[in-house]
Structure 1
Amino acid sequence: MSTAYRWLDRNFEPIVMALLFYVMTTIVTLQVILRFAFNSGFSWAEELARFLFVWLMYFSISYATRNNSHIKITFLVDKLSEKVSKIIAILVDVLFMVFVIVIFIAAWNICQSITEYQDKAVTMNVSMNILYGAGLVGFALMIIRLIQGLIWKVSNFSNSMDHFTNEGGLYSGANEVIFSPKEQPENNGGEQQ
């Protein structure tokens, strides 16, 4: 069970992101071909592509949170001692979690409002919760990923700063994602194997 959980933990967002990206790209490409080559197309294709893009964005944010890959400005923090920098990093993650929880509650309220008023998409006969649910799922995943990150930082507080920050998910297995290239064996003396 532990192996399956670790595999899912590392690969969930990348697999969903790849599927969303390829479906979105296929729909847009097909729509362009139909419009320019056959002067026709699907009325719902552009709206569906937009929905897929929004879902892709939220899964990408969750994945960046998992791998601690968000943009950071560390000019002042880099001038402090390592211990103080680690404490600030934990505080920043706690504040980020508070922000994400507030936005999650707002997304929940929006989804409830859409359900109450039965808002539908323009070209597809589906609830707008298909679109706004992306925020709900994305922020829920971000909360999970922030909790994992905080646990990582607290449990690795005494390790080096590089290991503690785990930027890019280097130490938590981001290089073991299903889509990452596998390392090639070194070539001895330039000979072909």
Structure 2
Amino acid sequence: MEESISKSEKAYHSNPVIRILSWIDRWIIEVFEKFILSFGLLALSAIVFGVVIARYFLGFSPDWSDELPRFMVVWITFIGMSYCVRQGSHVKIDLFLNKMHGKVKKYINVTILSICFLFFVYLTYLGYNLTMAVFAANQMSVSLDISLGYVYMAIPIGCFLTAKNFLHLLIKNILSKEVIADLSERGIK
């Protein structure tokens, strides 16, 4: 760690609860995000390639060839949203933020992170209610014959992970002397 670490940052690092939560974040949640994204993209590519080859050469297309890739894209999108926040590569308009300096820049960044966190907490709530309504209605996919609730489940899970990553960034920015854009950046891990 750098010598410029403040007392609050040192207290953060020495707190056993924070250390456990950081370990869980790095070795369970981040691994889950990477697995879903890498396996999902690889499987999606293989399925779409296989279906195109089957259609072209065999004149055959499985019934599930439209639904499964679509459902996979939904999961990849919502988990990818969380991973983008982790990496600091989510869409943001920082034209004005880059022109500011010092405490004003830090306060605005903390405010933006707070709003994003609250927004994704609310989306998690809405997504959970929507998913439970779909499960309760027993809506099934046409060709795969699975509950659409499993597809909709990507919404609350992805929004919850995104909210968690925004909260983590918020805490890092509050305790750090600088503005931190991603969870792997200098400062508090």
What is the TM-score with the length of structure 2 in the denominator? 0.80
Aligned length: 169
Q: Identity rate of aligned residues, in percent? A: 22
What CA deviation, in whole Å up to 9, does each residue of 1:25-44 have, x standing for no partner?
11111111111100112101
Aligned mates of 1:9, 1:49 — CA distance in 2: 24
- 1:77 aligned to which of 80, 97, 100: 97
Aligned mates of 1:130, 1:95 — CA distance in 2: 28
In 2 relative to 1, CA 9–138 (structure 1 residues): closer, same or farther, beyond 3 Å? closer
Aligned mates of 1:172, 1:71 — CA distance in 2: 22
Contact 1:69 1:168 in 2 (8 A): no
What CA deviation, in whole Å up to 9, does each residue of 1:154-177 have, x standing for no partner?
121x2xx4xx32348343899xxx
- For 1:25, the equivalent position in structure 2 comes to 45
Contact 1:10 1:173 in 2 (8 A): no
- For 2:73, the equivalent position in structure 1 comes to 53
Give the C-alpha shift of residue 12 in structure 1: 3.0
Which one-letter code corresponds to 1:150 in the other structure? Answer: L
| 2:134 matches 1:114 | yes
What CA deviation, in whole Å up to 9, does each residue of 1:140-163 have, x standing for no partner?
11121112111211121x2xx4xx
In 2 relative to 1, CA 70–83 (structure 1 residues): closer, same or farther, beyond 3 Å? same
Aligned mates of 1:125, 1:45 — CA distance in 2: 13
What is the TM-score with the length of structure 1 in the denominator? 0.78
In 2 relative to 1, CA 15–78 (structure 1 residues): closer, same or farther, beyond 3 Å? same
Output the aligned Cα RMSD. 2.4
> Unpaired segments of 5 or more residues in structure 1?
175-193
Contact 2:169 2:182 in 1 (8 A): no
In 2 relative to 1, CA 71–106 (structure 1 residues): closer, same or farther, beyond 3 Å? same
Kindly report which structure 2 residues correspond to 1:1-193, keeping only aligned pairs within 5 A, or say none. 5=24, 6-156=26-176, 158=177, 161=178, 164-167=179-182, 169-171=184-186
> Unpaired segments of 5 or more residues in structure 2?
1-18
Aligned mates of 2:184, 2:80 — CA distance in 1: 14
